[in-house]
Structure 1
């Protein structure tokens, strides 16, 4: 059940981040990948600044924040 919930949260986080940053999603698989990597990145960044998230909503917020950061970093790298 944890894997399925993680994929759902990852997909939702990727979709939200895609809509916040460039106005559209990245497709189902792209949203899931961006959300999962963003969740990891968000967890690392939140841990470094001393924040913790709990529950489904906390995981979603962390994943969205990390996914937005990931999209920002990739956008800056691609412009070079």
Structure 2
């Protein structure tokens, strides 16, 4: 993996984690936490969305939307587990 890919991964993860924190109120993790949430969200979305028949295409915007959807799923699951 080249340095450009790592930078892209970090930027997409940070933006997606920040957006997911705004969508699912009550979650703010700071820069490093947002990057981790965004990357984990992208992993979750890469498993869930194709099974639902959803494809978003390629590019920066679709990567951010993809990772944000996965991060929202992750934060919603964390909220359910935290309440139980």
Q: Name the TM-score, length of structure 1 as normaliser.
A: 0.92
- How do residues 7-46 of structure 1 correspond to structure 2 at under 5 angstroms? 7-23=10-26, 25-46=28-49
- How do residues 1-80 of structure 1 correspond to structure 2 at under 5 angstroms? 1-23=4-26, 25-53=28-56, 54-80=58-84
Question: Which runs of no fewer than 5 residues in structure 2 stay unpaired?
Answer: none
Q: Name the TM-score, length of structure 2 as normaliser.
A: 0.88
How many residue pairs align between the two structures? 80
* Structural RMSD (CA): 1.1
Give the whole-Å Cα distance in 2 for the aligned partners of 1:43 and 1:72. 17
Larger Rg belongs to: 2
Q: Which runs of 4+ in 1 moved over 4 A?
A: none
